[in-house]
Amino acid sequence: MRRRLAALVLAAVLAAVPMAAAPSAGADPAPAAPAPAGTGDGPWSAEGAQLVDASGAPVRMTGVNWFGSETETYAPHGLWARNLEAMVAQMAELGFNTIRLPYSNEALDPGAEPSGIDLELNPGLEGLSGLEIIDRVVEEADAHGMRVVLDRHRPAADAQSPLWYTPEVPESEWIEDWTMLAERYAGDPTVIGADLHNEPHSTADGQGACWGCADPERDWRLAAERAGEAVLEANPDWLVIVEGVDCVPGTPAPECGWWGGNLSGVPEHPVRLSEPDKLVYSAHEYATSVADQDWFDDPAFPDNMPGLWDAFFGHIEHDGAAPLLLGEFGTTLQDPRDGVWLGELMSYLGEGPTGTDFTYWSWNPNSGDTGGILQDDWTTVDQDKYAYLEPYLLPPGGGDGGGPPDGAACTVDYRVTDAWDAGFTAEAVLTNDGSTALEDWTLTWTAPEGVRVANGWGARVSQDGGTVTASAPDWARALDPGASSAVGVQATGPSAPAPDDFRIGDTDCAAA
């Protein structure tokens, strides 16, 4: 999809995230029962149309796109307004279990210098390359039990391409970069797969991408097989995600749909991989805020939509060919038909871990086509959009999204260890007073007025607005009953008064 980026918002406004409200326009989202599983354990694979984890349990992507690394910033957008760790934590708290992360080949170049980052809010990103910032997103997703799909969105930062290669970025470089990424994240189950190329499509002169035309320079299906085999050779654990095209001549009308959204050629020309249980097909689907397609004006709308979706992509799972990922879909909800469309689409995708996988476009508010889950302050949730999605979200790992166990109890001993005119250092010793280990714990507190945390140790420490967050370090993910963990911070501002509202999730910690 063409991205018309809105003006960048350069001021962060900290706001609480309210409970989801009912949609204000269009069809109400269909109710859905709570689902028991989200991201599971270990690498994923396919059993027919169902994704499963390493134990064979069903899993499902219910995620969101966070774009920016494919643009001239070479980094996810919004880091000028918020801290990366807090952004990912909010995604997980809302119930999104997967991040689809677009990038460009240009962003992987050694000379590509990321920009659009407030280093006071993100001191840990200073001096990192575009690839190393992707590493940080993966690390934070892992800390919250989320999964990541890497999306090769563009060859270069300035524009999408109809084909998977350009004169500047040949097919060889495309495959080499995918091989490098597959090797880089081998053994890390957080990154589950490669979305090989975003929105292959035809061009007005009859060229561009095709499906099953047997032209090695245009047939996207054949190119996906070549790249897919290279990815699996480098990392056999990954899923290979293959999008559709826009037009497939010879199929029932309509022959053309959204870029990347037409998989009607698959029954006659399926993607063939040496490991077929690693294949996932993907489609994109949009509302009138992107383009007012003929089907939105059909007198039968919205009853015509399920049949259209079946023809374009739904047949993939209905026939048991492979799992399907609806990799992009979104709307501004400005047209009343869009609310109807989104409600119908979510119902079509289905509930629970056996429903169709999806990643909503987008987290970012600065998509000119759709807006985002977040409003322009990069913090407040658009409740109208979220209400359509929320009943279908499977939190990371299932359950309540990784909060403290029942009966959790904690104590924090906070003390200032040194102070000077402009700042201080302090230590907060967290003790687990409960009877169950605190897995992947996150300690939060409110910074007193005028205090800004510069760095921390003993945990992954960040500050977003007035909230300080300390997440369990990789080397000590669990805090056993009776055990303690010390978190150190260096901050600017006054050392008194001391914070007094330490929490693990919704559990208040007592003062030592």
Domain ranges of the chain: 55-392, 410-511
Helices (H), 153-261: 171-184, 220-234
Burial 211-232, CB ≥16 within 10 A → b, else e = bbbeeeebbbbbbbbebbbbbb
Name the strand (E) or helix (H) holding 11: none
Furthest C-alpha separation in the chain: 75
What local confidence, expressed as pLDDT, does residue 471 receive?
A: 87
Q: Is the dihedral of CA 230, 234, 237, 243 positive or negative?
A: negative
What local confidence, expressed as pLDDT, does residue 325 receive?
A: 98
User: Taking phi first (over 0 means left), then psi (-120 to 50 degrees means alpha), and beta for anything else, what does residue 232 get?
Assistant: alpha
What local confidence, expressed as pLDDT, does residue 477 receive?
A: 77
**From CA 491, how far away is CA 329, in angstroms rounded?**
42
- What's the DSSP call for residue 373? S
What local confidence, expressed as pLDDT, does residue 37 receive?
A: 55
- Active site positions, annotated: 199, 328
- Of 399, 393, 310, 402, the residue nearest 60 (C-alpha): 393
Reduced to 3 states (helix: H, G, I; strand: E, B; else coil), residue 383 is: helix
What local confidence, expressed as pLDDT, does residue 109 receive?
A: 96
Domain 55-392 class, CATH top level? alpha beta
Q: How would you classify the pairing of strands 324-330 and 357-360?
A: parallel
What local confidence, expressed as pLDDT, does residue 6 receive?
A: 32
Neighbours of 415 (CB within 10 A): 10
Tokens of 269: 């020309």
Distance of CA 298 to the CA centre of its chain: 33
Helices (H), 198-298: 220-234
Tokens of 252: 């029932």
CATH 1.10.760.10 fits 410-511, yes or no: no
Tokens of 102: 């677009």
- What's the DSSP call for residue 228? H
**From CA 512, how far away is CA 510, in angstroms rounded?**
6
Tokens of 207: 């060229």
- Asked if 179 contacts 231 with a C-beta cutoff of 8 angstroms, the reply is yes
Amino acid identity of 200? P
**Is residue 367 reached through a cis peptide bond, with omega within 30 degrees of 0 on the bond before it?**
no
Helices (H), 200-328: 220-234, 305-309, 315-318
Domain 55-392 and domain 410-511, same fold? Reply is: no
**Is residue 497 reached through a cis peptide bond, with omega within 30 degrees of 0 on the bond before it?**
yes
Helices (H), 164-312: 171-184, 220-234, 305-309
**From CA 389, how far away is CA 360, in angstroms rounded?**
9
Q: How would you classify the pairing of strands 442-446 and 478-479?
A: unpaired
What local confidence, expressed as pLDDT, does residue 32 receive?
A: 38
Q: Whose structure tokens read 């739904």?
A: 314
What local confidence, expressed as pLDDT, does residue 16 receive?
A: 31
* 17 to 374, 378, 385: CA distances (angstroms): 10, 11, 13
Tokens of 147: 């999964």
What local confidence, expressed as pLDDT, does residue 407 receive?
A: 65
**From CA 29, how far away is CA 58, in angstroms rounded?**
24
Task: Note every long-range contact of 117-121, with CB atoms under 8 Å and residues 24 or more positions apart, other chains counting.
Answer: 117/73, 117/75, 117/79, 117/80, 118/79, 118/80, 118/81, 120/452, 121/12, 121/79, 121/81, 121/82, 121/83, 121/463, 121/464
**From CA 359, how far away is CA 195, in angstroms rounded?**
12
Helix orientation angle between 130-143 and 84-94, rounded to the nearest 10 degrees: 40
- Asked if 408 contacts 416 with a C-beta cutoff of 8 angstroms, the reply is no
* 450 to 187, 487, 492: CA distances (angstroms): 43, 20, 8
Torsion of CA 129, 130, 131, 132, to 10 degrees: 50
Q: What tens digit of pLDDT does each residue of 244-267 get?
A: 999 998 877 788 999 999 999 999
Q: How far apart are the first and last CA of the chain?
A: 54
Tokens of 376: 């322009």
Tokens of 64: 């969101």
Low-confidence residues in the chain, pLDDT < 50: 2-36, 398-403
Radius of gyration of the chain (CA): 23
Amino acid identity of 360? Y
Mind giving me the DSSP string for 434-457?
SSS-EET-EEEEEPPTT-EEEEEE
